[in-house]
Amino acid sequence: MGNAIWTVAVGVALASVLAAAPAFAGFSVRDGRLVDACGEAFVARGVNLPHAWKPRATGKAIRQSAALGANAVRIVLSDGTRWRRTSPQAVRKILVQARRARQVVILEVHDTTGYGLEPEAAHIGSALAYWAKLEPVLRGQEDLVLVNIGNEPTAGATTPEQWLEAHRTAIIALRALGLRHTLVVDAHDYGQDRSGTMRDRAAQLFAADPLRNVVFDVHMYEAYGEAQAVERYLRAFETARLPLIVGEFGPDHRGQPVDEEAIFRLAGAMGVGYLGWSWSGNAQEVANLDLVERFDGRRLTPWGERFFYGPGGVRQTSRRSRVFSGCR
């Protein structure tokens, strides 16, 4: 199908879906903030869970991270391109477990990581068919689930314009599928946005969503080794009145320092959500990013101790959404 015909077809489908669909009470964006179904600002204080690689550990990790105070989990899924496909039935089970634990869920397709540099990485467009398969599971879960279209889906020779157009097309397509959830978009440059691509084009992309319901996600690793870099980036989104989360970060990355103290301090002061990478099971070269040892929430690593119990950490700053108590 030619591009012009495809664009018209998607536009017609999108208009009919938005006109016919009921107004679900779910997450939304208001005045640059992520707002839950109770109409209150929601600030994520959560963890990343490696479900695609360790699916049997997920249920326990949800329970234990919730017990430690996490109000959100970001779940690694696979569409089958690089790893074993996460089935709709598995996703449904995750959502039941998270609702029981009173945790908001960010679902992300990880197969897209590093497209443009890693030969095995999937283009973000390939994730759309997977989201279409998940749509029946996600329908009616708008108060619980945020849809992170693809993890770190641009790197290498991918240009800023390609990042913008790939995400614009994906957003329109997902709305045409009937997804009314808050959509989460990862930054260029393996999520770190060294080039400022997402920072400079976020307003354009936000405006491209007919629901104006997009949150932007930066991953703060070695590009944020100094507090000034952290503050400049967070302030740019604050000034633009656009919603931002730090979807991944750690105390360092492959031996390069990260100013995690600045992330904790500034995220707290500015009401920016954050999710630490990651619960457990990291490769040897980044094993110090494990929050707990051997998937056991009773055995915190030094990073886990800092993340949950340190100044500005989860125990001090996490607040659960009242959605789970009927907004009471």
* pLDDT in the model for residue 157: 86
Q: Are strands 33-35 and 28-30 parallel, antiparallel or unpaired?
A: antiparallel
Residue 152 catalytic? yes
* pLDDT in the model for residue 24: 53
* pLDDT in the model for residue 156: 85
* pLDDT in the model for residue 227: 98
The pTM of the full predicted model, rounded to 2 decimals, is: 0.93
164-175 pLDDT tens trace = 999 999 999 999
Cβ partners under 8 Å of residue 57, min gap 6:
49, 50, 279, 280, 281, 295
Helices 88-101 & 58-67, crossing angle to 10 degrees? 20
* pLDDT in the model for residue 76: 98
Residue 238 catalytic? no
* pLDDT in the model for residue 5: 32
Catalytic position from the list 108, 142, 231, 248: 248
* pLDDT in the model for residue 1: 34
Instruction: Report DSSP state, residue 47.
Output: E
In 3-state terms the chain splits into helix, strand, coil percentages (rounded to 5) of 45, 20, 40
3-state secondary structure of 103: coil
Which structure tokens are listed for 36? Answer: 């839950």
* pLDDT in the model for residue 147: 98
- One pLDDT digit (tens) per residue for the chain, 328 residues: 333 333 433 444 444 434 333 345 899 999 999 999 999 999 999 999 999 999 999 999 999 999 999 999 999 999 999 999 999 999 999 999 999 999 999 999 999 999 999 999 999 999 999 999 999 999 999 999 999 999 999 998 889 999 999 999 999 999 999 999 999 999 999 999 999 999 999 999 999 999 999 999 999 999 999 999 999 999 999 999 999 999 999 999 999 999 999 999 999 999 999 999 999 999 999 999 999 999 999 999 999 999 999 999 999 999 999 999 999 9
192-233 pLDDT tens trace = 999 999 999 999 999 999 999 999 999 999 999 999 999 999
Catalytic position from the list 142, 152, 231, 260: 152
Q: What's at 85, amino acid-wise? A: R
* pLDDT in the model for residue 6: 35
